[in-house]
Chain A
Amino acid sequence: MNVYWRQWARRWRLSEMRLLFLALWISALAVAAVGFFTDRVESAMERQASQVLGGDLVVSSSRPLPDDYRQLAAKLGANRAEVISFRSMLSFDESTQLVQVKAVSTSYPLIGELQGTKNLNAASISLKGQLPASGQVWAEPRLFHALQVPMDATVVLGKSQFALTTAVTKDPSQGVNFFQIAPQVIIPLADLPATGLLSPASRAEFSLLFTGSEQVIRELKANLEAKLTPTERIRSLQEGAQNVEQALQRAGRFLGLAALLSVVLAGAAIVLTAASLVRHETRSVAVLKAFGLARRRILVDYLGNLWLLALIAGVLGAMAGFFLQALLAHWLVQVVAIDLPGASWTSAWVSIVTALVMVTGFALPALLRLLDTSPMQILQGSLPAQKTLAKVLILSILPAIFLLLWIQARELRLTVWVFFGLIVAVLLFWWVTKLVLNGLARLSTRPAWQWLALMRQSRRSLLLVVVFAMGLFTLLLLTALRTDLINRWQASVPTDAPNYFLINIQANEQAPVEQFFQQNQLQATLYPMIRGRLVEINQQPVTSEDYPKAEAKRMLEREFNLSSFANFPESNTLLEGKWFDTQTQGFSIEKGIGETLGFKLGDSLSFDIAGQRFTEKITSVREVRWDSMQPNFFVIAAPGALLDKPYTFITSLHVPSTKPELIPQLIHQFPSITAIDTSAILGQVRSLVEQATLAVQGVFAFTLVTGLLVLWSALQAQRPERQRELAVLKSLGASSQGLRQRIWLEFLLLGGLAGVLAGSLTMLAANLLGYYMFDLTVSLNPWLIILGALVGAVLVASAAWLNLRSLLRVAPMVLLKT
C-alpha cells in the first residue's frame, strides 16, 4: 500500500478527522438533498408554467410577426408553433355565436396535449398527436350547448365551411382565463386564409411559440428582445403562472436559506475541528520535520488528505442526499399524486464542490499554520506564535463563506445580505457576551456570588457562548420562519376553498340560482359583472396609443370586468381611501391597475358601458390576492350603481367531492351558465404546498443535526484544556460529585446565555427576513427568548455532560500523564 494511503488510514483514527468528515458529509448531504429536491420541484413547476404559456418562450403581437423570427429560431434549433387567435361569428343553420378562433400550425401544441372527445356523452381522452384536419373545426363543449349543434355538423366561419368533429375539454396553452366569454374553436392555420376573416384591420393576436434547451431559449430570447417592435411582446417562464409560483418561491427560498445556514454551521464545526486537529498534529509535524520531512511534502500530504476526505464526504453526501430526496419524492408521489420530473446531476456537483471549498477555506488556514511549526519547538516545548485571527479570517474563512453562500443561493443580493447578517450576528454576540461575562466575573468577587467564579475563564467561555449562540440562532430562526410559513400556506389553501367558478349567470336567474345554492347547502355570493371599456381619465380621452407598455395597451384594448357590491371583499386589503357606505358613490380600484395606467385616489375614470358613459371618482385603492380562488375585480363601483346597465353574475363556490352531481344539475337547469372547474389547479397548489412543507421540515432536520455537530466540535476543541483543569481540581481534592455539579452549572449558564442572545436576535431577524423575503407579517414573540434560554441551557449542558463525563471517571494521575 502506498505510504500516503497508509498515512491517511492512520490519521483516520484521530477523532478530529472523523468529526471533520462528519461535518463535511452532513453539509454535502444537506446541499445535495435540498438541491435535488428543489430542482425537481422547480422543473415540475416550470413544466406546468410552460404548459399554461404554450411554450418556453412566446412572442405575440397584434400584427403578423416578421419571418426573420422564424428563421432565427430555426437557426438556433428551437421548436416552433404558430397560433393566430381572434374573435369572429360562427354560424350553424340560422343561429350565430361569437367564438374565439384559434388557428394553429401542425406543430401545436409544443408542450402538453389536447384532450377531448368525439362523443359529447363520453369521457375525454388524450388527443396527443391529433389536430383538426383541413376542413375540420374543434370546439369547446359549451359551443355545442350554446348553438344546440350536434357532432359532425357543418358550421360556417367567414367564407369557409367546417365540419365540427371534436369537443376539446382541455387545451394546454389556453391557461386559466376565467373571463373568456366566447367559446374557443380550433382550426388548422392552413385553412385560415380561405375564410377571409383576417384582413389587415382585423384585431387578432399573432403568436409564435418556442421550446428548446435552456441555452437555446436564452439565446433566442436575447436575440428577439433586440428586435422587438412596440406592438410585440415576449413572455417566458419567469412571467408564467404566478399564484402557484409564489408559494413555491417562498418554499424554495426557505430551503435555500436552511441549506445555506446548515453549511455555515458545518463550516463553524470544521473551523473548530481543524483547529483542534492542528493542535494535535503540531507535534507530529515537528517530529516529522526533525526526521527530515520537507515542508512541501507535509503540505501535499495534509492537503491531499483533506481533499480526499472532502471528496469522499462529498460523493457519499451527494449519494445519501439523492437517496433521501428520492425517498421523500417517492412518498410524496404516493400521497399527493404529483408528477415530479427526474433530478439533474448539478446538485451532486454542487455538493462535492461545497465539501471541497469548505475543507479548503476552513481547514487550510489551520493547516498552513502547521507548516510553520518549527522542529525546534519539540526540544523547547513551546508552541509557535499563532497568526492573528483577523488575518486568517479575512484571507480564507470569509471568502470561503461568501463563496459557499453564493454557490447555494446563486443570487448576489441574498448572498450579500446573509453574509453581512452573519458577520453582524457574530460581532454582536461577541460584544454582548464579553460584557456579560465581565459583569459576572466582577459579581463573583462578592461572597454571595462566589459560585459564579467558574465563569471567570472568560476567553474560553466567550468562544463557547458565541459558537453556541450562532448555532441556536440558526435553529431558532428557521423554527420561527418555518412555523409562520407553513401556517400561512395552509391558510391560503383551506380545504373548503372554492373549486368552481360560475360565469354567465343571467340577471333574471339570480333568485332561482341562489335558491338552488340554498337547497343544496352551497355557500356562494353572486357578484354582478358589467363589461366596460375605459375611455377617459380625468375627462381626458385615453387610447392604447398613449401607453408604451404592452400590458397597458392590452388593458385598454379589452373590456374591463366591473362590479358593484356593498361588502368589502374578504381576500382584499384596503390600502387607501374609504370603502363604500350607503351614501357614497365612486370607484374602488386595484392597486396594480392604477400603477399600470397611471391613475390614483381622487382621479376620475369614465367607462363606456354598452354605449353609455359612466364616470366616477376613485374613492379607494385595494390590494387583491389573486390566488384566493374568489372572483376579483380591478374596478368596483358603489353598490347598485351599475345595475341599470346590462350585467351577468359571477361567483365561485366549493362543491364537496361527495356531491359531484350538483354542477351538472345546475347546468341542466340553467343552460347559459358556464361552470369552470378549478379543483385541478387548486389540487396542484395544495399538493405543491404540502410538498414544500415537507421539504422544509426535512431540511430543518439537517440544520438541527449540523447545529449539534457544531456544539460537539466546540466541546471537543476544548477537551484537552478541560482535561487538565479537571485533573488539577481532582488532585487538589475536588470530589467527582462537585465536579459534576460544576460542569452542569457552568454549561447551563453558558447555554442559557447563548440561548437568550440567540432568541433576541432571532426575534429581530425573523421579522426582517419574514418581511423582506417571505411576505410574512411582523410580530414580536418574546417567547423566542425564553424558548432560546431553555433550549440553549438544556441542549448545551447535556451535550457538555456527554462530552466531558468520561473525563470525570478517570483517575487524576492518568489525566496528568496524558
Chain B
Amino acid sequence: MSEIETVIAVSHLQKQVLAADANNNQATLSILSDINLSISCGTSVAITGASGSGKSTLLGLLAGLDLPSAGNIALFGQALTTLSEDQRAALRLGKVGFVFQSFHLLEHLTALENVLLPLELGNNSGDLTQRALTALEQVGLAARAQQLVTKLSGGEQQRVALARAFVTQPKLLFADEPTGNLDRHTGQEVAALLFRLQHDYQTTLVLVTHDESLAAQCDVWYRLADGRLQQQEPSA
C-alpha cells in the first residue's frame, strides 16, 4: 500500500447521455453531476441508491468501461480520460476483478474453465489449473469443477463468479449487485464469502448495491441520489 495509497481518484465527474422521448426527440439526460471520490487501497466502499440512480453507470466509469462526459478519473494513478479503450483494458488486465448481478459466466464452459479464463488472458505462468481449482475450493465448489455452469444453481454460479474474480488476486474488485439475483439466505452466504476473500487478499472493493445491510458491512458507504454522491456514516 505504500506506492499507491489511492486506487481510485475522481474529481468533478459528470455523465450525460442522449435519450429519446416518446416522440423520438433526442434530449440530454444528466445521470451523474460533480462526483468527487477517493478510494484508498484495501478499503471496501459501498455505493447505494434507488433503481435508475446511476449506480451501475458510476461503477462502469470507475472501472474504465466507459468515459465520463466531464471530469477526471484516475485508476491506479492513471488518468482514464487520456487512455484509449485498449489502454484502459490493459490497465485492468490482471488487476481488476468483477462480480455481476447476473453472474455473466460463459455458458458453454465448465466451472473450472470459467475460473481459468482470467488467468489465461493475462501473462500468468505456472500451474494455472491448480490455481483455478484452489480458487474453486475457497468458494466450496471444487467438487463441481468439471460441470457446465448452466447445471449449477444461482448461488453456486455466483460463487464460481467470485472464484473467477479473485483467482488473479486483483488489487481492485468491482461488484455490481452481487446478491441481487439470489434469495436472502444464499445472498448472505455469498456476501460473507465476498468479504472474507476481500479481507484475505487485501483487495480494494467497490460494491454497488441497493441492499443497505450489505452496504453497512463496508468501510465506507456512499449514497447516490439525483446524480450526486453523499457519504453515509456506516453506523447510520
Q: What residues make up the interface of A, taking CB atoms closer than 8 Å to B?
A: 3, 6-7, 10-11, 13-14, 283-284, 286-296, 374-376, 378-381, 818
Contacts and interface: CB of A to CB of B under 8 A. Distances in A.
A7 B109 CA distance: 10
Given A287-B104, A378-B100, A378-B104, A292 B94 contact: yes
B9 to A, nearest CB: 20
Interface in B87-114: 89-98, 100, 102, 104, 106, 108-109, 113
B65 interface: yes
Given A6-B120, A376-B65, A818-B150, A292 B108 contact: no
B86 A290 contact: no
Contacts of B117: 288, 291
Contact of A291 (B56, B121, B176): B121
16 contacts: A10-B108, A14-B108, A290-B65, A291-B97, A291-B118, A292-B94, A292-B95, A293-B89, A293-B121, A295-B89, A375-B63, A375-B65, A375-B66, A378-B65, A379-B60, A379-B100
B93 A292 contact: yes
Contacts of A13: 108-109
B59 interface: yes
B211 interface: no
A292 B121 contact: yes
B92 A283 contact: no
Contacts of A286: 104
Nearest to B98: A290
A287 B109 CA distance: 14
B82 to A, nearest CB: 17
Given A289-B89, A291-B92, A294-B89, 20 more contacts: A10-B113, A287-B104, A288-B121, A289-B65, A290-B63, A290-B65, A290-B92, A291-B93, A291-B121, A292-B90, A292-B91, A293-B121, A295-B85, A375-B63, A375-B66, A376-B65, A378-B65, A378-B100, A379-B59, A818-B150
A374 B65 contact: yes
Interface in B194-234: none
A11 B89 contact: no
A298 to B, nearest CB: 10
Given A294-B90, A379-B59, A379-B176, A287 B106 contact: yes
Interface of B: 56-57, 59-60, 63, 65-66, 85-86, 89-98, 100, 102, 104, 106, 108-109, 113, 117-118, 120-122, 150, 176
Contacts of A10: 108-109, 113
A530 to B, nearest CB: 84
- Which of B117, B122, B176 has the most CB atoms of chain A within a 10 A radius of its CB? B117
Contact of B66 (A11, A291, A295, A376): A376
- Which of B86, B96, B97, B108 has the most CB atoms of chain A within a 10 A radius of its CB? B108
Contacts of B95: 292
A10 B65 CA distance: 26
Contacts of B86: 294-296
A376 B176 CA distance: 12
Contacts of B120: 3, 6-7
Contacts of A378: 65, 100, 104
B92 A292 contact: yes
A288 B92 CA distance: 11
A668 to B, nearest CB: 83
The 5 A-B pairs with the shortest beta carbon distances in the complex, nearest first, are A292-B93, A292-B92, A294-B86, A375-B65, A379-B56
A295 B86 CA distance: 6
A577 to B, nearest CB: 72
A375 B66 CA distance: 8
Contact of A11 (B63, B98, B108, B121): B108
- Which of B89, B100, B176 has the most CB atoms of chain A within a 10 A radius of its CB? B89
Given A290-B92, A292-B93, A295-B85, A380 B56 contact: yes
A807 to B, nearest CB: 15
Contacts of A14: 108
A376 B122 CA distance: 21
A402 B177 CA distance: 50
Contacts of B108: 10-11, 13-14
Contacts of A381: 102
Nearest to A381: B102
B31 to A, nearest CB: 11
- Which of B59, B60, B93, B118 has the most CB atoms of chain A within a 10 A radius of its CB? B60
A385 to B, nearest CB: 12
A292 B89 CA distance: 4
Contacts of A376: 57, 60, 65-66
A392 B106 CA distance: 28
Contacts of A375: 60, 63, 65-66
Contacts of B97: 291
A476 B90 CA distance: 54
A91 to B, nearest CB: 92
B15 to A, nearest CB: 11
Contacts of B59: 379
A493 B170 CA distance: 80
Contacts of B102: 381
Contacts of A292: 89-96, 121-122
A3 B104 CA distance: 21
Nearest to B128: A3
Contacts of A289: 65, 89
Nearest to B113: A10
A577 B202 CA distance: 104
Contacts of B98: 287, 290-291
A288 B94 CA distance: 12
A558 B35 CA distance: 103
A516 B220 CA distance: 119
Contact of A284 (B89, B91, B106): B106
A37 to B, nearest CB: 39
A6 B65 CA distance: 27
A292 B104 CA distance: 15
Contacts of A296: 86
Contacts of A6: 120
A291 B65 CA distance: 10
Nearest to B91: A292
A295 B85 CA distance: 8
A7 B86 CA distance: 21
A795 to B, nearest CB: 30
A291 B168 CA distance: 10
B128 to A, nearest CB: 9
B66 A374 contact: yes
Nearest to A289: B89
Nearest to B61: A376
Nearest to B63: A290
Contacts of A284: 106
A379 B94 CA distance: 20
A10 B148 CA distance: 12
Nearest to B96: A292
B81 to A, nearest CB: 16
B93 to A, nearest CB: 3
B175 to A, nearest CB: 11
- Which of A286, A289, A290, A381 has the most CB atoms of chain B within a 10 A radius of its CB? A290
Contacts of A295: 85-86, 89
B164 to A, nearest CB: 9
B65 A379 contact: yes
A638 B117 CA distance: 92
A354 to B, nearest CB: 28
A81 B121 CA distance: 69
A373 to B, nearest CB: 11
B60 to A, nearest CB: 5
Contacts of B113: 10
A203 B122 CA distance: 87
A343 to B, nearest CB: 40
B149 to A, nearest CB: 12
Nearest to A284: B106
B146 to A, nearest CB: 13
A14 B113 CA distance: 14
A379 B176 CA distance: 8
